[in-house]
Structure formats: structure tokens, C-alpha cells
Structure 1
Amino acid sequence: METGITVLFLLLYLLRLHVRIRCLYWPLADVLNSVIAALFLFIVSLFAIIIKTNKGTLAGGVLGLILLVLCLVDVILLCKKISLEKARGRSAPAK
């Protein structure tokens, strides 16, 4: 399900539909998606590393943790982008 949501976000941005559909603030929705994906990856990877029934399960857990780090980097970059796109007012009037 998470992969499907990520593909939908990718199509949304590729087809420039985020410009036409203004009822949502899309960068914030993308941040929420990345946070949910990071939580999901953390839980699944943690279980895979704890159980480690075979080497494939352990390798999957480690790859899941690497993906978790990538999701967290995505969240940080999106948050910086959101904070940089804010309208900035002047504190002192221009002379």
C-alpha cells in the first residue's frame, strides 16, 4: 500500500497535477507520507532483524534500515523546502 501511495505522489508531481489541485498543501502531504513510510520501515526492519530466521531476513532488515534513513533524509529535505518557500516579510520598511 505504501508503494502505491508513493507511486501516486510521483505521478502527481510528474503530471503537474499538484498545480491544478489546490485543496491540499502537497509538500505537507508528502512529508506525512514519508513519515508514515519511515515508521512502517522501522517496525518491519526491526522485526526482521530480531527474528533473523535466515540470512535473507537479516539482509532484508538491514536494507529496510537503510531505506529508513533515506526516508528520514527525504523528510528533512522536504521540511527545509517548506520552510524556505514561506513568504518572508520585511522587518523594517525600505527607505
Structure 2
Amino acid sequence: MDFIITLLFFLLYLLKFDRKIKFLFCPLVDVFNSLIAALFFLIVGLFAIITKSNVGTLVGGIFVILSFFLCIADSIFLFKKITFNQPRGRTVTN
């Protein structure tokens, strides 16, 4: 599911539909993509930890929960880098 969502966003950028769709703020779409991936990882990780049918499932669930935290951190860093109503690019100081 996460792969398909990421692929759709990639096609959106590749075909330059992000310039044609004015109601969609594209940097914020990356944040939502990270949050959707984090939610997906949380659900899968909790199911793996709760079932814990063997040690491999438990270890896999722990690694998926760690990826959940990495996706949350990614979305936070992306949101901090978004410039709302500010010029993009480098700022030159003299």
C-alpha cells in the first residue's frame, strides 16, 4: 500500500501534474506520505508484536516499530523545511 502511494506521488511529480493541480501543496504531500507510511508501519508492527508466533515475528515487529519512529521523524523534518510564503533557494548575506 505504501509503495503504491509513493509510486503515485512519484508519477505526479514525473508527469508534472503538481504544477497543473493548484489546490495541492506538493511539499505538504511529502509530509502526508510520511505520515501515511508511519501509520501503516505502526499497524503492521503492532500486529506482529501482538501475535508473536515466533521470535522472528517479534523481532520483525520491533524493527517495524523503529521504522515507524523514523517515518515520524522524517515527517517532522520535512515539515520544518517547508517554507510557507517565503522565497525558495539560497539566501545571500553580505
| TM-score normalised by L of structure 2 | 0.72
Partners of 2:49 and 2:68 in 1: CA distance:
14
Report how far residue 11 of structure 1 moved. 4.0
Report how far residue 48 of structure 1 moved. 0.8
Higher radius of gyration, 1 or 2: 1
CA pair 4-27 structure 1, distance change in 2 beyond 3 A:
same
Partners of 1:73 and 1:16 in 2: CA distance:
28
Corresponding position of 1:54:
54
Q: Please tell me the residue identity of whatever aligns with 1:72.
A: I
Corresponding position of 1:80:
80
CA RMSD of aligned residues (A): 2.0
Report how far residue 57 of structure 1 moved. 0.9
Corresponding position of 1:92:
none
Corresponding position of 2:7:
7
Corresponding position of 2:92:
none
Partners of 2:31 and 2:61 in 1: CA distance:
23
Partners of 1:73 and 1:55 in 2: CA distance:
27
Unaligned ranges ≥5, structure 1 = 89-95
Match of 1:8, SS state, is helix
Unaligned ranges ≥5, structure 2 = 87-94
Count the aligned residue pairs.
Answer: 85
Corresponding position of 2:36:
36
